[in-house]
Every structure is written in structure tokens, then in C-alpha cells.
């Protein structure tokens, strides 16, 4: 058992509830963590037996390009696609940070963390 991760993926996207967020967009950082058994990849040196970073990045990128209101929903959509691509995954965690959210004060990030164990239905 192990974990394959991509951390600090940055995007400019248009997610949010408020009209300003939908027009101007914002900077987001995404972290993806996939818990899986990659023992066969360790011994075989074969990408087919582990999680492909490129495929993970493409999943995140595709979802960041389609605006949604809630980051919770966005994380859920990413997890569903990761589980489709890697059905043997034991757990998937998505962390989404919105930089400098417009809250009327100084806030570095708003953060949503979505994680599902493999028995998610």
C-alpha cells in the first residue's frame, strides 16, 4: 500500500457563488492524494501498475475549467473521475485552496478537503 500525490497544482478558474468570482476568477491550488497498492509497480517498473501523474493532472485540469459554485462539489467531481480511472484505489483525497477569497478582510486561503474511502458509493 502506498500513496501517489500531486501537490500545489495551480490554476486560474471561475468557481464561486458570487458574480465577481464568476467574472474575474481566482487563483486556486489543488492537491491530489491517491492511496493504492502499487507493489507490482515497485518491482516491475511498469506505469500500468500505479497511478499516472499525468492522468491525475488532466482530471484536475478538466474540472477546473468548468465553473461550479461550491468547492465541495468540485472536489467530489474530481474524486469520482479519479475512482473511475483507478477503481482499485483505497482512498482519494482532494484539497482545494482558493487564494485571497473576497471576504472583506485579509484571508490567505479558503480550503476545502474532500476525501472518500474506497467503499464510497
Query: What amino acid positions are annotated as catalytic residues?
Result: 98
**What per-residue string of b and e applies to 39-74 under the rule 16 or more CB within 10 Å gives b?**
eebeeeeeeebbbeeeebeebbeebbeeebeebeeb
Pairwise CA distance, residues 109 & 88, whole Å: 32
| Contact predicate 89/34, CB 8 Å | yes
* 26-36 vs 91-99, strand pairing mode: antiparallel
Q: How far apart, in Å, are the Cα atoms of 109 and each of 70, 89, 96, 98, 115?
A: 15, 29, 9, 5, 19
Amino acid at each position: 500500500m502506498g500513496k501517489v500525490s500531486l501537490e500545489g497544482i495551480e490554476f486560474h478558474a471561475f468557481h464561486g457563488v458570487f458574480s465577481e468570482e464568476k467574472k474575474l476568477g481566482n487563483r486556486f491550488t489543488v492537491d491530489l492524494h491517491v492511496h493504492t497498492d502499487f507493489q507490482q509497480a515497485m518491482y516491475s517498473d511498469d506505469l500500468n501498475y500505479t497511478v499516472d501523474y499525468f492522468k491525475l493532472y488532466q482530471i484536475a485540469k478538466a474540472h477546473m475549467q468548468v465553473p461550479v459554485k461550491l468547492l465541495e462539489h468540485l472536489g467530489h467531481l474530481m474524486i469520482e473521475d479519479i475512482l473511475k480511472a483507478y477503481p482499485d484505489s483505497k482512498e482519494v483525497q482532494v484539497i482545494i485552496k482558493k487564494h485571497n477569497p473576497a471576504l472583506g478582510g485579509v484571508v490567505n486561503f479558503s480550503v476545502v478537503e474532500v476525501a472518500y474511502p474506497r467503499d464510497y458509493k
